[in-house]
């Protein structure tokens, strides 16, 4: 059984998900810059229609990024993770949370159907970039925020209220014209996606939680899924975090009030998006399943 990356274990330990914290997690991540407008959006039937002009991009903000050695500034002036391909760096912008922490975020695609993708603690904004690009190409409006204390996002003494970072991503989707949203994430990103999705003003179409602990710091996904009735996909690998993640996934699944819910036990042994990015044939299959699940959530009657 493959073990999850050490950086993920360290990050979850710091948040109290597993025991024994040896210090802050390190890795790569990024802030974001202005996003280009797409002239049209794909309707559910596949036809394209003229999309309204997007609102102006956020102004760049001066702040110290969490991982200075893996951060660059875009032509627009936003900070972005060096892991983001140069061709996508103009899709970056800077979000500000309710407690005034500045986040890097990628805004991909356009249209009324929004998708929030929250990465794992200890990972970075590029964890979901491949899925985000595919969804954007298929007509969805995707926001991928980078958490505080990660990558090009701002350092913060408060790492307990990371649900505020997910809420900033949802606020951005609403600002740029999303009329309904799918919320998803990996590890603690899935936990925060559930919590943020439980009380957003936007109609939520579905929920994805990959290797997500039931509780992460001060964020409680079990309480959240008791309020979310939309289609829910919960994914975990046996043996991940000594079996604790599968145990939590089953707890979340049991607590979910969704009529359409599915629990997938992935055989790869990897954690979070590594199940897709490093899982070989099973990863390709899981990636396709995730994308199809997201798309199908929007095809259901409103």
pLDDT, one tens digit per residue, over 10-44 is: 445 444 443 333 233 333 333 233 333 334 444 44
Could you read off the pLDDT of 95-144 as tens digits, one per residue? Answer: 999 999 999 999 999 999 999 999 999 999 999 999 999 999 999 999 99
Could you read off the pLDDT of 232-280 as tens digits, one per residue? Answer: 999 999 999 999 999 999 999 999 999 999 999 999 999 999 999 998 9
User: Between 92 and 33, whose confidence is greater?
Assistant: 92
From 191, 282, 264, select the one nearest 228 (Cα to Cα): 191
* Mean pLDDT of the 76-93 span: 97
pLDDT of res. 51: 55
Confidence band of 302 (pLDDT split at 50, 70, 90): low
Confidence band of 50 (pLDDT split at 50, 70, 90): low
* Mean pLDDT of the 165-181 span: 97
pLDDT of res. 25: 32
Burial of 83 (0-12, 13-18, 19+ CB in 10 A): middle
pLDDT of res. 160: 78
From 186, 133, 131, 152, select the one nearest 30 (Cα to Cα): 152
- Give the CA radius of gyration of the chain: 17
Question: Given a cut of 50, is residue 228 above it in pLDDT?
Answer: yes
pLDDT of res. 181: 98
Q: How far apart are CA 12 and CA 120, in angstroms?
A: 9
Question: Given a cut of 70, is residue 197 above it in pLDDT?
Answer: yes
User: Between 223 and 25, whose confidence is greater?
Assistant: 223
Q: How far apart are CA 94 and CA 108, in angstroms?
A: 14
Q: How far apart are CA 106 and CA 179, in angstroms?
A: 19
């Amino acid at each position: 059984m493959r073990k999850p990356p050490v950086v993920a274990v360290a990050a979850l330990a710091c948040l109290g998900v597993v025991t024994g914290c040896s210090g802050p997690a390190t890795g790569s991540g990024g802030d974001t810059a202005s996003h280009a407008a797409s002239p049209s959006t794909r309707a559910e039937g596949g036809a394209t229609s003229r999309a309204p002009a997007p609102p102006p991009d956020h102004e760049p903000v001066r702040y110290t990024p969490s991982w200075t050695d893996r951060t660059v500034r875009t032509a627009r002036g936003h900070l972005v993770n060096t892991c983001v391909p140069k061709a996508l760096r103009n899709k970056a912008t800077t979000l500000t949370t309710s407690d005034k922490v500045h986040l890097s975020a990628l805004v991909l695609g356009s249209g009324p159907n929004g998708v929030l993708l929250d990465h794992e603690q200890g990972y970075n904004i590029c964890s979901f970039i491949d899925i985000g690009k595919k969804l954007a190409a298929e007509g969805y409006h995707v926001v991928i925020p980078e958490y505080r204390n990660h990558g090009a996002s701002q350092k913060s003494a408060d790492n307990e209220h990371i649900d505020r970072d997910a809420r900033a991503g949802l606020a951005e989707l609403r600002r740029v014209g999303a009329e309904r949203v799918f919320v998803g994430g990996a590890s603690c990103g899935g936990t925060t996606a559930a919590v943020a999705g439980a009380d957003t003003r936007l109609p939520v179409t579905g929920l994805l939680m990959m290797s997500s602990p039931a509780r992460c710091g001060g964020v409680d996904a079990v309480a959240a899924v008791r309020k979310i009735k939309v289609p829910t996909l919960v994914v975990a690998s046996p043996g991940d975090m000594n079996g604790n993640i599968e145990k939590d996934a089953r707890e979340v699944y049991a607590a979910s009030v969704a009529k359409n819910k599915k629990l997938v036990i992935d055989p790869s042994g990897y954690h979070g998006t590594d199940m897709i990015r490093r899982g070989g044939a099973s990863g390709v299959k899981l990636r396709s399943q995730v994308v199809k699940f997201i798309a199908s959530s929007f095809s259901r009657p409103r």
